[in-house]
Amino acid sequence: MPLFAKKDETKVDYSRLPQHIAIIMDGNGRWAKGRGLPRTAGHAAGAETFRTIATYCREIGIKYLTVYAFSTENWKRPMAEVSAIMGLLKKYLMEAIRDMEKEKVRFVFFGDLTPLPAELRELAEETQARSAVYEGCQVNICLNYGGRDEILRAARALAAECAEGKRSPEELTEEDVSNCLWSAGIPDPDLVIRPSGEERISNFLLWQSAYAEYYFTDVCWPDFDKEELRKALAAYQSRSRRFGGV
Ligand code: IPE
Ligand code: IPE
Ligand code: MG
């Protein structure tokens, strides 16, 4: 944790940090286009930003970081771009496994990994299994993730239990639904950040974000640095969270 802020740094109260930050890592393509580069170069730069921000979150003591890496809708993109993203994810996970001892980050994947290339799926499973022993910071990577898909799966699971006579519909609670999501057991995000100037949810953590604070910025994800995160944290700390109360 930084003991003092440098003069030009946005001031953050490090004793009042959100427990859980979620980020829609958007704007890689536009960042690349603006530099006359192929979209894939934007995804590569975005992966580096993820590394920087995840490390910084761990350093300042954020307990949970959830990032949107690939949505259930992103399969609509040209095959070459999808393959390039999958290749970058593979590279990132191999490096994460290599550096695991040093970084001590626990990785959890949200989303159905079955349609992914086998090699990537196995790397994700290995990363999740091997990092499960770490307790400092948990990074949830949303991969082939969709909020509606997640809620539908929960509905199916609960409907099946009802059909089998294990539960009755009347007794089902919000907690039961939460426990059927990929995020079961993890507190809801306090702060959801979306860079790139878009101000929409794009099917991200629909159930979990019921009371999240949103922060939008025009900066594209590859340009999102520690100072941008401090700005988001300062904005979060300036808000009054009422949860429906007064
Ligand atoms: C986010 O950047 C990365 C993924 C969705 C995988 P984009 O690729 O959506 O970048 P823009 O929105 O086209 O700039
Ligand atoms: C959301 O970004 C998904 C990820 C960042 C992985 P998109 O770029 O896919 O979202 P839309 O298309 O602008 O809604
Ligand atoms: Mg986008």
The pLDDT assigned to 6 comes to 75
**pLDDT at position 4 over 80:** no
What are residue 28's phi and psi, to 5 degrees? -60, -45
**Which of 24, 25, 28 is the best mutation target for the ligand 1 pocket, counting ligand atoms within 8 Å of the beta carbon and taking the most?**
28
| DSSP state letter for 68 | E
How much is the average pLDDT of 139-149? Answer: 98
Alpha-helical regions (H) of 27-132: 28-34, 39-60, 79-98, 100-103, 118-131
User: Ligand nearest 29 Cα, by number?
Assistant: 1
| Nearest-CA residue for atom 8 of ligand 2 | 26
pTM for the model? 0.97
For residue range 162-221, list pLDDT tens digits in order: 999 999 999 999 999 999 999 999 999 999 999 999 999 999 999 999 999 999 999 999
How much is the average pLDDT of 151-158? Answer: 98
The pLDDT assigned to 27 comes to 98
**pLDDT at position 126 over 90:** yes
- pLDDT band for 7, please (50, 70, 90 cuts): confident
Q: How far is CA 96 from the centre of its chain?
A: 16
Q: How far does the centroid of ligand 2 lie from the alpha carbon of residue 182, in Å?
A: 19
How much is the average pLDDT of 80-102? Answer: 97
Two tokens, residue 235: 């904005």
The pLDDT assigned to 176 comes to 98
**Residue 64 is inside which H or E element, if any?**
strand 64-71
Contact 21, 62 (CB under 8 A): yes
Name the 3-class secondary structure at 23: strand
